[in-house]
Chain A
Amino acid sequence: MARFEDQLAAVEAQGSDAQGNDISSNGGEGFTRRGFLIGTMAGSAMMAFGLSGAAAAASDGSANNGSASESLAAGRYEPTIWYAIAPDGTVTVHITKAEMGQHVATSLARLVAEELEADWSSIEVVYVDSDPKWGYMVTGGSWSVHHSYLPLSRAGAAGRIALIEAGAKLLDVDPADCRARHGQVISGDKSVSYGEIVSQAGLERTFSEEELKEISLKPASERRVLGTKGTALDVPAKVNGEAIYGIDVTVDKMLYARPVLPPTRFGSKPVSIDDSAAKQIDGYRQTIELDDPSGVCQGWLAVIADSYSSAMRATDALKVEWQRGDSYDISEADIQEQGHTLVNSPSRDNGSLFVDIGDVSSGLEGASEVIDSTYTTSSVLHFQLEPVNATVFEEDGHWHVHCGNQQQTLAVGMLSKALQVDKSNITLHQYYLGGGFGRRLYGDYTIPAALAAKALGRPVKMLFTRPDDTRFDCVRSPSVQRLRSGLDGNGKVVASEHAAAAGWPSAAMAPAFLIEPVEDGGKVDSFAISGADHWYDVGAQRVWAQQNHKAHEVFVPGYLRSVGPGWTTWAVEQHIDELALAAGKDPARFRLELLNAEGRNAGQAPHSVGGAERLRAVLERAMAKADWDSRDSLPDDVGMGVALTFGQERSMPTWVACIARVKINRGDGSVDVEHLTAVADAGTLAHPDGAMAQLEGSLLWGLSMALYEGTEVEKGKPKALNLGAYTPLRMNQVPKMDLEFVDSDAMPVGLGEPGTTVVAPAIANAIQHAVGVRLRDMPMRAEALKAAL
């Protein structure tokens, strides 16, 4: 399968955003395909990806003599300055990624600092706005560190080389006799700081794309930053109230707004609006209908007031009669019924094949036993703690949109359609995100704020209440999956077929991210099926990705932390256990046998070097840590289960093993998770403490979804709209955890998501071990277990 990175590059190269809108006028060319310029502007050294001077001069026929400084100063080449060194030695790293809890700026700045040999205390970060020069802006998929590793490391190394050359001149020594450390160029007992070099000599150096690629990065043994302890840059502002989130933005003369949401996401219209009661509320101004040429806000109203509190109360007092969209009558059960139909007879009309290896049909026919199981997951909410919001105003024909967002390029394209203005007249200003988890990959929430600001000709801050946020959340689609696998007489898996049906986030929001199928048929949303292409050797293998169109009629299927692997891992990892049971084998050792790391499962350098071998290694380590062998002598109603994941994509595997120990209370069917063990191999850890925080949080997310979350869509919206009805994990439900990262200097991969997917199947397998009941529907509710006992 194509690496998603390539897909993204292709989307950029076509000059379109993920909805297929033209972005070529943006001039954004990803930073991977250009040379590197180091020059001096206004006294500071600038390190930028861009056309090098000579190439730039040639490309526009100007008389530019080709110096890096002149190219940078000329500006017309849109050099993308990734970091700068000021005369006082401060290194400012520009961050294009959203800061939403993963300490991404710290990780990315560490990549630069490592190769630049910068002094960490001199590092500052700036979160940039949506200027098109940054290329396609998206933060998701656990990609940030992995995708940035080579470009930012090389950028740092290029800067170091230039500083050593210039520093050697100042010291009057041979560059070969110099080394760089802690922001200084050192030769014997002489040294000069980066700040001194920048202010006294300036920097002038260009690297062609080829030269950049040839720079060899430091061997792991020489690393002084990556893989070491250290704190996150965004933490201090998050313990004293100073961190500014989208919700905290204020603008002169702004009005407050709350959206009035129609009964369905699509096709509703207001028929009559009565605001007589709202008029009694202090500070209420008016209710406006939002006319949205982009089609995002269908039938929405906005209540405008002098304060948010007035806007909230006035909205509650408003009486609106609606003409409801047709999807009002579609329930979660209807969607799931459609899912069952799709997985029972998958076809090329609703998707296609994602994996097709060998002859599955005859493999299953010839098997001595076929295990055939169906698994489901129900709708899940993002419930990022900061409800979606945006503050928008227009100034001199330019639109400023202030909010936290994970996919600025997509949002700008949507805003351009809604406001009917060119994208070059729209800027998204980034803030800290009060949680992302994929919700803010879709900038739909910026549209009503922008339309209200346009209608009123004044700045508007629109904030969704929690129930508003939930109602039109891009929920994780409910899913249905059927797996059929055949065992031969020796308990060896000979063939496996997997069909998965769900709403497809990319089809709904970003069609350009759909990929070609392995053979004929429609395009496939890899985000909705990834994980089914696992690293076990199951003989012949066929995977069907099916789009459940019924889901799309009701809501916008969302990218929710881990996306597809959140359901595919649930099915695959239970199914493997069911096969082990049928074969009469220990489920962990059965997995070790299937992870033979042969053929396509051998892995590829550098991204997936080692392949299934590394999954074996984390499993073996987890078995030792959790004392797997004690599994045969546990007390009554106590069980241990295991599950594995390779994270988000085969081309960027994060290897994780999780073992859960549970105790079942037969009285009410509730499950106590007594212990979670997890071992992860994510290659080099750019920021180990941040990595551990992500592992902790993602595993608990997994536990929360396994037992405590989940809702149903009903009458156009999720049934659970706020806490009380929706019950994410609390501190008193946190089990004992024993977590570990494998020491590795392999290429860094992602960590924001992989931990979320393994916990639920590990618990399901543990429940089966404890009491012999297999729960195939997520969330696993106590009532369901009690009924089965």
Chain B
Amino acid sequence: MASFTLNGKPVSVEVSPQTPLLWVLRDNLGMTGTKFGCGIAQCGACTVHLNGSATRTCVLPVSAAEGGEVVTIEGLSDNDDHPLQQAWREHQVPQCGYCQSGQIMQAADFLSRTPDPSDEEVTEAMSGNLCRCMAYVRIHRAVKRAAEISQASEASTAGVGVFDPSRDQEVTHGQV
């Protein structure tokens, strides 16, 4: 029996202790937002937060999460309004989308530790996550934008930096 907290709720699952957390989340608990890409901790598609840290779950035995707090993409925010999710929509980041849960969970952990990152810091933090569609330009841009959104909402409660989905996105002709 494995027990931990998933997106704020306690869960218990009857699985053998060496089962990777990824498969427990996906197959036993129905949280399919977390993906399987390489199975050897090298692509980042399976990234969730375990006790607040971005963690690859494809090689992590569920026993390692015993009693811990697990947050998946489904539990990142209440209304899909985490600054990263806002920025991801604003900059239209996903292509096939398969890597994006992992990208967002990786970035969320990074921004929580580095609220005002430089370009280089973003690149370094995100280079472990493969995007086969190569949406890297936008992933980078959106991490920076999310940092801005977070900072603005901290600096003011007057609605500064609130994402308005009806707002036009940026110019698509011209420089990237």
Question: Per a CB cutoff under 8 Å, which of B42, B92, B124 touches A689?
Answer: B92
Asked if B49 is an interface residue, CB under 8 A from chain A, the answer is: no
How far does the alpha carbon of A463 sit from the alpha carbon of B97 in the complex, in Å?
A: 19
Q: What string of 1s and 0s marks CB contacts (under 8 Å) between B92-117 and chain A?
A: 11111111110010000000000000
Whether the pair A723, B130 counts as a contact (CB closer than 8 A) is: yes
Whether the pair A734, B136 counts as a contact (CB closer than 8 A) is: yes
How far does the alpha carbon of A248 sit from the alpha carbon of B27 in the complex, in Å?
A: 9
Whether the pair A435, B132 counts as a contact (CB closer than 8 A) is: yes
Q: How many residues of A contact B (CB 8 A)?
A: 71
* Chain A residues near B80 (CB-CB < 8 A): 236, 239-240
Whether the pair B173, A704 counts as a contact (CB closer than 8 A) is: no
Q: A723-B42, A739-B175 are in contact. Are A239 and B104 (CB under 8 A)?
A: yes
Q: A241-B31, A309-B19, A689-B92 are in contact. Are A732 and B127 (CB under 8 A)?
A: yes
Asked if A562 is an interface residue, CB under 8 A from chain B, the answer is: no
Asked if A384 is an interface residue, CB under 8 A from chain B, the answer is: yes
Asked if A480 is an interface residue, CB under 8 A from chain B, the answer is: no
Whether the pair B172, A697 counts as a contact (CB closer than 8 A) is: no
* Chain A residues near B151 (CB-CB < 8 A): none
Whether the pair A385, B88 counts as a contact (CB closer than 8 A) is: no
Whether the pair A385, B43 counts as a contact (CB closer than 8 A) is: yes
Asked if A330 is an interface residue, CB under 8 A from chain B, the answer is: no
Whether the pair B173, A309 counts as a contact (CB closer than 8 A) is: no
* Chain B residues near A103 (CB-CB < 8 A): 95
Q: What string of 1s and 0s marks CB contacts (under 8 Å) between A716-741 and chain B?
A: 00000011100011111010011111
Asked if A786 is an interface residue, CB under 8 A from chain B, the answer is: no
How far does the alpha carbon of A256 sit from the alpha carbon of B23 in the complex, in Å?
A: 12
B39-95 CB contacts (< 8 Å) to partner A = 39-40, 42-43, 45, 72-74, 76, 80, 84-85, 88-89, 92-95
Whether the pair A700, B136 counts as a contact (CB closer than 8 A) is: yes
Asked if B137 is an interface residue, CB under 8 A from chain A, the answer is: yes
B43 CB to closest chain A CB, in angstroms? 6
A412-457 CB contacts (< 8 Å) to partner B = 432-437
Whether the pair A242, B33 counts as a contact (CB closer than 8 A) is: yes
* Chain B residues near A734 (CB-CB < 8 A): 123, 136-137, 140
A232-270 CB contacts (< 8 Å) to partner B = 232, 234-245, 247-248, 250, 256
* Chain B residues near A722 (CB-CB < 8 A): 38-40, 42
* Chain A residues near B127 (CB-CB < 8 A): 730-732
Whether the pair B35, A692 counts as a contact (CB closer than 8 A) is: no
Whether the pair A101, B175 counts as a contact (CB closer than 8 A) is: no
Binding site for A on B (CB under 8 A): 15-16, 19-20, 23, 26-28, 30-40, 42-43, 45, 72-74, 76, 80, 84-85, 88-89, 92-101, 104, 123-124, 126-140, 165, 168-169, 171-176
Task: Return the 10 tightest CB-CB contacts between A and B, nearest first.
Answer: A241-B33, A238-B97, A434-B98, A101-B95, A101-B96, A700-B134, A238-B94, A241-B73, A723-B42, A248-B32
Asked if A119 is an interface residue, CB under 8 A from chain B, the answer is: no
Whether the pair A385, B132 counts as a contact (CB closer than 8 A) is: yes
Which of B30, B36, B93 gathers the greatest number of chain A CB atoms within 10 Å?
B36
* Chain A residues near B126 (CB-CB < 8 A): 731
* Chain B residues near A463 (CB-CB < 8 A): 36
Whether the pair B136, A731 counts as a contact (CB closer than 8 A) is: yes
How far does the alpha carbon of A606 sit from the alpha carbon of B85 in the complex, in Å?
A: 41
B44 CB to closest chain A CB, in angstroms? 10
B23 CB to closest chain A CB, in angstroms? 4
B169 CB to closest chain A CB, in angstroms? 6
Q: A282-B16, A308-B27, A693-B138 are in contact. Are A688 and B72 (CB under 8 A)?
A: no
How far does the alpha carbon of A239 sit from the alpha carbon of B15 in the complex, in Å?
A: 29
A339 CB to closest chain B CB, in angstroms? 28
* Chain A residues near B165 (CB-CB < 8 A): 231
* Chain A residues near B74 (CB-CB < 8 A): 240-241
Whether the pair A435, B130 counts as a contact (CB closer than 8 A) is: no
A290-316 CB contacts (< 8 Å) to partner B = 307-309, 312
Whether the pair A432, B73 counts as a contact (CB closer than 8 A) is: no
Whether the pair A385, B130 counts as a contact (CB closer than 8 A) is: yes
Asked if A204 is an interface residue, CB under 8 A from chain B, the answer is: no
Q: Considering the complex, give the chain B residue whose CB is closest to the CB of A231.
A: B92
How far does the alpha carbon of A681 sit from the alpha carbon of B95 in the complex, in Å?
A: 21
How far does the alpha carbon of A101 sit from the alpha carbon of B132 in the complex, in Å?
A: 10
Which of B20, B33, B127, B171 gathers the greatest number of chain A CB atoms within 10 Å?
B33
How far does the alpha carbon of A466 sit from the alpha carbon of B139 in the complex, in Å?
A: 24
A314 CB to closest chain B CB, in angstroms? 12
How far does the alpha carbon of A243 sit from the alpha carbon of B80 in the complex, in Å?
A: 13
How far does the alpha carbon of A420 sit from the alpha carbon of B124 in the complex, in Å?
A: 53
Whether the pair B89, A231 counts as a contact (CB closer than 8 A) is: yes
Whether the pair A239, B137 counts as a contact (CB closer than 8 A) is: no
Whether the pair A243, B173 counts as a contact (CB closer than 8 A) is: no
A55 CB to closest chain B CB, in angstroms? 41
Q: Considering the complex, give the chain A residue whose CB is closest to the CB of B43.
A: A723
Asked if A743 is an interface residue, CB under 8 A from chain B, the answer is: yes
Question: Per a CB cutoff under 8 Å, which of B15, B134, B171 touches A307?
Answer: B15
Whether the pair B174, A740 counts as a contact (CB closer than 8 A) is: yes
Whether the pair B176, A731 counts as a contact (CB closer than 8 A) is: no
Question: Per a CB cutoff under 8 Å, which of B23, B38, B89, B133 touches A239?
Answer: B89
A618 CB to closest chain B CB, in angstroms? 14
* Chain B residues near A309 (CB-CB < 8 A): 15, 19-20, 23, 27
Question: Per a CB cutoff under 8 Å, which of A250, A432, A729, A737 touches B96?
Answer: A432
Q: Considering the complex, give the chain B residue whose CB is closest to the CB of A702.
A: B134
Whether the pair B42, A235 counts as a contact (CB closer than 8 A) is: no
Known pairs A235-B94, A722-B40; list 8 more (Cβ under 8 Å). A231-B169, A235-B88, A236-B80, A250-B30, A435-B98, A722-B38, A741-B172, A743-B173
How far does the alpha carbon of A466 sit from the alpha carbon of B133 in the complex, in Å?
A: 17
Which of A309, A387, A696, A700 gathers the greatest number of chain B CB atoms within 10 Å?
A309
* Chain A residues near B42 (CB-CB < 8 A): 722-724
How far does the alpha carbon of A436 sit from the alpha carbon of B95 in the complex, in Å?
A: 11
A22-61 CB contacts (< 8 Å) to partner B = none
Whether the pair A435, B172 counts as a contact (CB closer than 8 A) is: no
Whether the pair A435, B33 counts as a contact (CB closer than 8 A) is: no
Asked if A502 is an interface residue, CB under 8 A from chain B, the answer is: no
A561 CB to closest chain B CB, in angstroms? 10
Whether the pair B36, A383 counts as a contact (CB closer than 8 A) is: no
Whether the pair B23, A307 counts as a contact (CB closer than 8 A) is: yes
Q: Considering the complex, give the chain A residue whose CB is closest to the CB of B99.
A: A385
A691-706 CB contacts (< 8 Å) to partner B = 691-693, 696-698, 700-701, 704
Q: What string of 1s and 0s marks CB contacts (under 8 Å) between A675-713 and chain B?
A: 000000000000011111100111011001000000000
